[in-house]
Amino acid sequence: MSASEPELKALMIAGLNGDTRAHHQFLHLLTPLLRMYFARRLTRAGLDVEDLVQDTLIAIHTRRMSYDRTRLLTPWAYAIARHKLVDLFRKSRPSVALEDVESELVASGATDDGLAAMDIQRLLETLPPKQANTIRDTKIHGLSIAESAASRGMSEGDVKVSVHRGLKALMAKIKP
């Protein structure tokens, strides 16, 4: 039986309020959810799901005071899990191509879609508006270079350069 969002949130809040038993129950119920999360994403041999689950549980435990009680709990927990997974991929690969990250985010499922959109939005906010807008047009909304140029009142060459420079800047921000 899978734990529900309200049940997990209630246990987390009780744990934050000092109920040790509730906190242990929260971690116990979260464990199979994390196990499934990692098992779906780790297809390469040699990567241990249990190690990631334990690392994530430790991170959730140590960062529990950062949880905002007014927000949903599972996206917060899955964000920590996703960061642990990214850390593992960074350690096991010399670099990660932006296309790989994008395909991983798309393949990650409905629960992660909102988180991925928030992460992408935060990254795009670090770029100049011209670059961020052309990346949104062409890479997120699927417009052609010509369509983006027409809607923004820019030349096609200017759109291409803006997208290229923006993606290059984003890659520099996400590479270790």
- Each domain of the chain, given as residue ranges in start order, spans 5-93, 97-176
Higher-confidence residue of 38 and 112: namely 38
Taking only the tens place, the pLDDT of each residue in 40-52 is 887 664 567 888 9
pLDDT tops 50 at residue 67:
yes
Residue 125 to residues 55, 79, 94, 106, 121: CA-CA distances in angstroms?
A: 30, 19, 27, 20, 6
Is the pLDDT reported for residue 61 higher than 90?
A: yes
CATH of domain 5-93: 1.10.1740.10
pLDDT computed for residue 14 by the predictor: 95
Report pLDDT digits (tens) over 126-136: 889 999 899 88
Assess if CATH 1.10.10.10 describes domain 97-176. Answer: yes
Same fold, 5-93 and 97-176: no
Report, as an integer, the average pLDDT of 158-171: 89
pTM of the model: 0.52
